[in-house]
Amino acid sequence: GLGVTALPFASFMYGITKGKYNFRVFRERLTFKDLPKKFDGFKIVQFSDLHSGGFDSYEDVKRGFDLIQAQQADLILFTGDLVNDLAEEIEQYKDLLKDLNAPHGKFSVLGNHDYPEDLDLFPDEAAKAANFQALQQHHADTDFQLMNNSNTKIQKGEDFIRLIGVENW
């Protein structure tokens, strides 16, 4: 039994100490028969689960953001979990998010950790609501358009695609 529990524990410990800075790029080529021709070769960078409250090295986090920018994306998507629980966790990294750029914009959605439900973290519902409002403001401050149950048109000449963002339920 001890051996069975040691493996998940060791994996967990690696993840919170060293693995959190093990940034990797996965390249996938997607094909769609109805994709407008001008979007052939359109590059999207998607990253997720930043959980910024778990970081303790600005330089290592910057290395991850430099890796994102080095991809020279046409569009950047952040797909949730900006923080572990508290909006303030991202504040020291906001400049890194803001410095990311792509010609067709930066868009984001919220993840489950962006909706903290642990009331022990907040003295009351008003503080919880203020935290959520601050988190949403961080997206705006870093020039990410938060897509909560909305869509936008991404245009190249006369051709376009629609980007749809669904709020985490």
pLDDT in tens, 92-136: 999 999 999 999 999 999 999 999 877 688 988 899 999 999 999
pLDDT of residue 17: 63
Going by pLDDT thresholds of 50, 70 and 90, the confidence category of residue 5 is confident
pLDDT digits (tens, 9 = 90+) for 62-84: 999 999 999 999 999 999 999 99
Strand partners, 65: none
Is residue 102 within 8 Å of residue 154, measured between CB atoms? no
- Global confidence as pTM: 0.89
What are the DSSP E strand ranges found in 30-124?
44-47, 75-79, 106-109
Q: Is a pLDDT exceeding 70 seen at residue 16?
A: no
Q: Which residues have a Cβ under 8 Å from the Cβ of 154 and sit 6 or more positions away?
A: 75, 104, 105, 160, 161, 162, 163
Sign of the alpha-carbon torsion through 137, 143, 149, 150: positive
pLDDT in tens, 27-55: 999 999 999 999 999 999 999 999 999 88
Categorize the per-residue pLDDT at 13 as very low, low, confident or very high, splitting at 50, 70 and 90: low
